Amino acid sequence: MYGFPPSEEFAALTDRELTQLCIGEYQIRLNFDGDVTLSIQSVFTHSAAPPSDLSGDFSFPRSGSTLTSLLGAKVVSATTIPPESLTIEFSNGESLTVYDNDPSYEALQFDGPGTSVIV
């Protein structure tokens, strides 16, 4: 909706472990240690570490089921390509890319210590 800000806005994700994954009809919520959350309401791509048949684009709620392999993994980096996307790389070699593809709707909400970002 608003486009992704610079990568620095997502610095609180680095070194955080994904501890919980909540799947709703039109939203996926990732809860990390350290009171850090990421709620996704838009198109995303999950790239699983090879060999796997988990990579791909899916529609809600099926898309969330592939993300269970990220549980327990730590965030290695969170990089944006403003204003289009955010890519999160995990310690297990997998990645998650969220796209701001619809100007009518919010793509995600990120909350961490002292920060809140709505895209």
Q: Is residue 37 part of a domain?
A: yes
Q: What are phi and psi for residue 9, nearest 5 degrees?
A: -65, -20
Q: Is residue 49 part of a domain?
A: yes
Give strand pairing partners of 97: 45, 87
- The predicted pLDDT at position 61 comes to 53
Q: Is residue 119 part of a domain?
A: no
Pairs from 49-58 (Cβ < 8 Å, separation ≥ 24): 49/92, 49/93, 49/94
Q: Is residue 29 part of a domain?
A: yes
Report pLDDT digits (tens) over 44-91.
999 987 655 555 555 555 555 789 999 999 999 999 999 999 999 999
Is 16:77 a contact under the CB 8 Å cutoff?
A: no
Q: Residue 87 belongs to what domain range?
A: 7-114
Q: Is residue 2 part of a domain?
A: no
Q: Is residue 54 part of a domain?
A: yes
- The domain total for the chain is 1
- The predicted pLDDT at position 80 comes to 95
Alpha carbon 63 to chain centroid distance? Answer: 12
Report the CATH number that the domain containing residue 19 is assigned in CATH: 3.20.190
Q: Is residue 1 part of a domain?
A: no
Q: Which of 106, 105, 96 is nearest to 58 (CA)?
A: 96
Query: Dihedral of CA 36/41/43/45: which sign?
Result: positive
Q: Is residue 62 part of a domain?
A: yes
